[in-house]
Amino acid sequence: MADTTPILRIEHMTKRYGAKEVLKDASLSINRGELKVLIGPSGGGKSTLLQCINFLIKPDRGRIWLDGEEIVRAKGKALYDYRQKVGMIFQDFNLFDHLTALHNVEIGLLRVKGLSRNEARNRAVLELDRVGLTEYMHQYPAELSGGQKQRVSIARALAMDPEIMLLDEPTSALDPELISEVLDVIRTLRSNGMTMIMSTHHIGFASEVADELVFLEDGSIVEVGPPEKVLYRADYARTREFCSKITELYGNSSS
């Protein structure tokens, strides 16, 4: 399913806050249709890496290529255009509180992509249908469950036609029984060929769907490899230690 042209490539990404280097020389490349899962302890740099990829955090150093083209001037219109191609899902959903589910999906189409009201409406309805929320489209975020909010945020990102999606612990803020509805949506995205980089602690889910696991600790990419290797035959002791702990905790909650 996955072809072998890197759709996104980052090299030597570095970010420092004062004396603390939160991201150290991280390099990563992902092919079209692949799903890479970032794992590692909290504070290890997973969120920073994801947010550096779409410049929500401005990296101190590093280069990014999307579809073979380097992003050189990350500001103004070039930046806004680039961000449309890189969808992002947050741990806390970050829906716009003053808008219904439908308007949350519509607003980017109207105000960023400049679609007409009709086009935007049709597309938003379609995307909400895809994540199974047709009957909730007129509800406000305050009236939705966590799982529903996260599915709206996925619909909102997909409506922009991104080339790649970044998912930053999309299930970490959810009640246990709501996790599976979000993971199901991600699984469907995966089988439809969406390229994704996702950080999660759901190691069971990760090993089921990921092409590769990326282990990050202290801001460094320690190890990259297929799930069965990273989980059971990792090269580094620290990776093995982390994976065995997390498998114990989350390994069986994949469905």
Buried b (16+ CB within 10 A) or exposed e, 57-79: bebeebebebeeeebeeeeeeee
User: What residues from 103 to 132 belong to the interface with another protein (CB under 8 A)?
Assistant: 107-108, 111-112
CB of 58 to another protein, least distance (A): 12
C-alpha to C-alpha distance for 72 and 142, rounded to whole angstroms: 39
Tokens of 112: 């960023």
Going by their DSSP bridges, the two strands 20-31 and 6-17 should be labelled as antiparallel
Q: For residue 160, give the 3-state DSSP assignment.
A: coil
* Least distance (Å) between residue 249 CB and another protein: 26
Which of 11, 31, 140, 224 is the binder for another protein (CB under 8 A)? 140
Tell me which residue has tokens 């579809």. 67
Nearest distance in Å: CB 197, another protein: 14
User: Is 224 a binder of another protein (CB under 8 A)?
Assistant: no
Choose among 165, 100, 171, 167: nearest CA to 139.
Answer: 100
- Coil, strand or helix: which one is 226? coil
**Contact status, residue 57 vs residue 136, Cβ threshold 8 Å:** no
Residue 20 binds to another protein (criterion: CB under 8 A)? no
Q: In the numeric block, which tokens belong to residue 129?
A: 């249908």
Is position 97 an interface residue for another protein (rule: CB under 8 A)? yes
Q: Which of 56, 74, 125, 224 binds another protein (CB under 8 A)?
A: 56
Q: Given the rule CB under 8 A, which of 5-13, 78-86, 191-199, 214-222 is the region that contacts another protein?
A: 78-86
Q: Which is nearer to another protein, 70 or 81 (CB)?
A: 81
Q: Note the residues at the interface with another protein (CB under 8 A).
A: 51, 54, 56, 80-81, 83-84, 86-88, 90, 92-98, 107-108, 111-112, 139-143, 153, 156-157, 160
